[in-house]
Amino acid sequence: MNRDQIESLMPQKGRMMLLDGLIRFDADGIVCSAHNHRADDHPLLSESRLSSLAGIEYAAQSMALHGALLAQRENRSLPRGLVGLMREIECYVDYLDDIEGELKIHAFRIAFDTKNLMYKFEIFADERILIKGRLAVFSPKSLS
């Protein structure tokens, strides 16, 4: 799956859509790729640098793509969700724009029900872990 195909399934569009490729997915998780972390016009740059914390957005987009692909496979609509909880975030580098290789974003569901999801994620480049943690996605209806 290429960037255009991914973008057609995502709420993020244009430069804010960060994923460049789908490596694999199944019911439990997804592995995506991205190489735009070194772009001079990256939308998440701060003071001309891309913090490793931007990896959280890469992970969240991978989770969204996972949900969209599962919904497509099951012929159902995908409810909107909001990242509402971040836990155990560990950064092993300060900046992603220093990383030469392609990013590999692994996101795996560890808990879910009809309204809420919990994923663990890890982002690698050249077999080196850059950032990891857990993210929870809540349906807006479960927040009211």
Domain boundaries, position 34: 3-143
Task: List phi, psi (to 5°) of 49.
Answer: -130, 155
11 — pLDDT class (breaks 50, 70, 90) = confident
> In angstroms, rounded to a whole number, what is the distance separating the alpha carbons of residues 144 and 123?
32
d(CA 122, CA 90): 9
Asked whether 69 and 9 are in contact (CB, 8 A), the reply is: yes
Q: How many domains does the chain have?
A: 1
Confidence band for 143, pLDDT divided at 50, 70 and 90: very low
Per-residue confidence (pLDDT) for residue 59, from 0 to 100: 95
| CATH number reported for the structural domain that contains residue 102 in this entry | 3.10.129.10
* Cα 139 to Cα 7: distance, rounded to the nearest angstrom: 21
| Residue 107 to residue 104: CA distance in whole angstroms | 10
Say if CB 33 and CB 21 are below 8 A apart. Answer: yes
pLDDT (tens digit, 9 = 90+) per residue, 79-105? 566 667 778 999 999 999 999 999 999
Q: How many CB atoms lie within 10 A of CB 8?
A: 11
User: Can you spell out the DSSP letters for 6-52?
Assistant: HHTT-S--GGG----EEEEE-SSEEEEEE-GGG-TT-TT-BTTB-BG
